[in-house]
Amino acid sequence: MIRSLVETAGPKMDKAVEHFSEDIKSLRTGRASVAMLDGVTVEHYGVLQPLKAVASVNTPDGRSIAVTPWDKGAMGAIEKAIRDNQALGLNPSNDGNMIRIAIPPMTEERRREVVKSLSGKVEDCRIVLRNIRHDVLKEVQKLEKDKQATQDDVKFAEGELNKKIELFQRRIDELEAAKTKEIMEV
């Protein structure tokens, strides 16, 4: 019973780290990446849609992104959505057929801001992991209170959950280190 409760924490923690990994892909690194535009939503026909639903996005080279809308009528809305996204700080140019986005090299100050933002995302992920541990421990303690588990079971659960937390936090640290290196690379 206790072992199965502890086992449920693993997939949840894995999902949290996976979400974190996907989330940091959109952080700007100075190199062009299709993932940079993942958070952009475009209002098209009165409905907010992800950019990938209304256009093809690719990187012809390391310094630019090309966005080709499926419907030429969406060109202005796409351009506006990219320009208005303050987190990106990009200035798209429209040539009538496609939108080109030149990725300017990041300043040292901007790189430090992005690393600071990364640190916030790391802390958010750690909080999620701690909350998962806390929820499972609460369940185990409830079982102990209802006389369905012993103090040894609670200690076992705490130990196993702490091992899981350490494992997942190491994965987060590795992802953070790799992303920080990528961001600070000139």
Q: How far apart are CA 95 and CA 38, in angstroms?
A: 22
Q: Are residues 178 and 121 in the same domain?
A: yes
Q: Which residue bears the tokens 């920080």?
A: 180
Q: Look up the CATH number of the domain holding residue 126.
A: 1.10.132.20
Q: Are residues 15 and 44 in the same domain?
A: no
Q: What local confidence, expressed as pLDDT, does residue 173 receive?
A: 94
Last residue in a domain, options 42, 70, 102: 102
Q: Tell me the pTM.
A: 0.72
Q: How far apart are CA 173 and CA 163, in angstroms?
A: 15
Q: Are residues 112 and 95 in the same domain?
A: no
Q: Are residues 59 and 90 in the same domain?
A: yes
* Domain extent at residue 48: 34-102
Please say if the pLDDT value at position 169 is more than 90. Answer: yes
Q: Are residues 111 and 176 in the same domain?
A: yes
19: nearest Cα among 104, 121, 97: 121
Is 72 exposed, middle or buried, given 0-12, 13-18 or 19+ CB atoms closer than 10 A? exposed
Q: Are residues 113 and 167 in the same domain?
A: yes
Q: Are residues 96 and 154 in the same domain?
A: no
Q: Are residues 124 and 169 in the same domain?
A: yes
Q: Are residues 140 and 157 in the same domain?
A: yes
Q: Are residues 127 and 90 in the same domain?
A: no
Q: Are residues 48 and 85 in the same domain?
A: yes
Q: What is the mean pLDDT of residues 21-30?
A: 78
Q: Which residue bears the tokens 């995302």?
A: 121
- 39 CB neighbour count, 10 Å cutoff: 13
Last residue in a domain, options 50, 83, 102: 102
Q: Look up the CATH number of the domain holding residue 72.
A: 3.30.1360.40
Choice between 90 and 186, residue whose per-residue pLDDT is larger: 90
76-87 pLDDT tens trace: 888 888 888 777
What angle do helix axes 108-145 and 2-25 make, rounded to 10 degrees? 170
Choice between 20 and 61, residue whose per-residue pLDDT is larger: 20
Please say if the pLDDT value at position 26 is more than 80. Answer: no
Last residue in a domain, options 102, 127, 142: 102
Say how many domains are in the chain: 2
Q: Are residues 163 and 130 in the same domain?
A: yes
